[in-house]
């Protein structure tokens, strides 16, 4: 189980879109694209010595129709799960990170802010806020023991981190208790120590101790074997700043003033009854989400407690809006995005890129195009610089028309100890991992 989340890359003004803009399942295309990427990876001599020992889909099995879908290995009796932590190099020790502690949270924040995911050109690095980390890592029923750090024994400095949180995820008709693995981060000076595999084994051991045997995770690199690959798309909200910091470029034959005009949005939202979600809306939003997510092959199984935690608005963490019919007061539509800024590296004028990431959106009465345009307006009102979205769920049907451009970042989705056949199209996936 691992997460080496891909940063949302730079926006490319002239690149042709690769997603299915009709949102129709294209499993055969997904398999073909995946096979091509795997072949390219292997042609460069890339071997995945660690992952080839794990219960995950293997490249050699791609296209093997005899392998069943479902768990790859049966659960082990809990008494046979390793009780002691895996051995670390002598200078280091395991700790459990108490994310309720402000001091510990500050340590984790500092490690991630200085050492976590950067884009390929080292221009931007994710900058998860302390409030975001506490939200992301403390959902209902979370286990403190799944928040794992590595310290230097002598200085007590935190130099590595990995986490898991529990989640109910449905695969086709089966709801499975899983762990979502995230925030795998090793200090830049220790990248040669091969800490990552032992950290993945340790978080796996701790997950197994809770009698959970499957996991979901994402990575910006190809590992054995993605269940699908999503493309990042970006919608400029503050185009001048994005161009100034090198996130996007002026298009051919475009001036700055024409670009600003192109991306200009209305001052206010247009849908009657569009408002901020409140705590009292949780049951209605849960019903909307459950019905919507039932159409996807892989999706979370949310209840009221999950919706309360993940979707009730939190300042500078997550924003959620809904449409309440002005006459009947029925909640008909819902949209949300979370706040994930990036540090801008080496720029004299700007230090932070404020990015909104599309989360869960449900359109029943309001056309999705209009609903998402209102979400863009709401994000602009909150001074976001860019609105990012993956081409999963129904997003692929509206991104181009809303003036999103395809980025150079891809996000690969993985399941641990669970095989899905064949690979999914992004439009068959209903799961967003932070």
Query: Which residue in the list 288, 322, 411, 434 is annotated as catalytic?
Result: 434
Q: Using an 8 Å Cβ cutoff, are 354 and 337 in contact?
A: no
Tell me the sheet residues that pair with 175: 170
Name the pairing type of β-strands 214-219 and 355-358: unpaired
Sign (positive/negative) of CA torsion 246, 248, 254, 256? negative
The reply to whether 434 belongs to the active site is yes
φ/ψ of 242, rounded to 5, equals: -60, -40
Q: How far apart are CA 148 and CA 207, in angstroms?
A: 12
Q: Residue 155 corresponds to which tokens in the numbers above?
A: 């200085």
Helix axes 102-115, 130-137, angle to 10 degrees: 110
Residues in the chain: 434
Residues whose CB is less than 8 angstroms from the CB of residue 421 and which lie 6 or more positions away in sequence, other chains included = 65, 67, 69
Q: Residue 392 corresponds to which tokens in the numbers above?
A: 């999963």
What is the spatial order of strands in the sheet that 124-126 belongs to? 124-126, 342-344, 352-353
Q: Which residue has the tokens 């009465």?
A: 365
Q: How far apart are CA 390 and CA 410, in angstroms?
A: 9
Report the catalytic residues.
434
């Amino acid at each position: 189980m691992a997460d080496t989340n891909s940063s949302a890359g730079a926006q490319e003004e002239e690149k042709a879109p690769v997603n299915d803009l009709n949102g129709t399942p294209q499993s055969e295309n997904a398999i073909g694209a995946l096979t091509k990427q795997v072949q390219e990876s292997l042609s460069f001599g890339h071997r995945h010595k660690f992952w080839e020992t794990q219960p995950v889909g293997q490249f050699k099995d791609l296209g093997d129709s005899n392998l069943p879908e479902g768990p790859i290995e049966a659960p082990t009796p809990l008494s046979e799960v390793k009780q002691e932590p895996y051995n670390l190099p002598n200078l280091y020790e395991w700790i459990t990170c108490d994310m309720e502690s402000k001091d510990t949270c500050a340590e984790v924040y500092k490690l991630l802010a200085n050492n976590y995911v950067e884009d390929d050109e080292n221009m931007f690095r994710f900058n998860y806020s302390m409030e975001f980390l506490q939200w992301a890592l403390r959902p209902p029923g979370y286990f403190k023991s799944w928040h794992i750090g590595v310290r230097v024994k002598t200085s007590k400095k935190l130099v590595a981190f990995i986490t898991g949180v529990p989640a109910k995820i449905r695969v086709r008709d089966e709801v499975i208790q899983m762990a979502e693995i995230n925030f795998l981060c090793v200090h830049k000076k220790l990248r040669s120590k091969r800490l990552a595999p032992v950290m993945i084994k340790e978080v796996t051991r701790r997950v197994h101790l809770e009698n959970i045997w499957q996991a979901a995770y994402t990575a910006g690199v190809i590992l054995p074997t993605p269940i699908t690959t999503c493309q990042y798309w970006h919608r400029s909200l503050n185009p001048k700043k994005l161009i100034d910091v090198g996130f996007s470029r002026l298009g051919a034959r475009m001036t700055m003033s024409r670009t600003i005009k192109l991306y200009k949005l209305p001052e206010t939202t247009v849908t009657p009854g569009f408002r901020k979600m409140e705590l009292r809306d949780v049951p209605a939003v849960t019903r909307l989400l459950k019905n919507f997510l039932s159409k996807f092959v892989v999706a979370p199984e949310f209840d009221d407690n999950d919706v309360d935690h993940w979707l009730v608005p939190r300042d500078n963490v997550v924003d959620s809006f809904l449409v309440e019919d002005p006459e009947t007061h029925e909640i008909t539509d819902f949209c949300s995005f979370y706040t994930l800024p990036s540090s801008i590296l080496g720029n004299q004028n700007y230090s932070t890129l404020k990015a909104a990431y599309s989360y869960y959106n449900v359109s029943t009465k309001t056309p999705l195009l209009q609903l998402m345009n209102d979400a863009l307006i709401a994000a602009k009102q909150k001074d976001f610089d860019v609105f990012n979205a993956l081409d999963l769920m129904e997003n692929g049907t509206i991104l181009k028309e809303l003036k999103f451009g395809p980025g150079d970042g891809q996000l690969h989705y993985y399941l641990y100890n669970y095989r899905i056949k064949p690979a999914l199209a992004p439009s068959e996936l209903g799961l967003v991992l932070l």
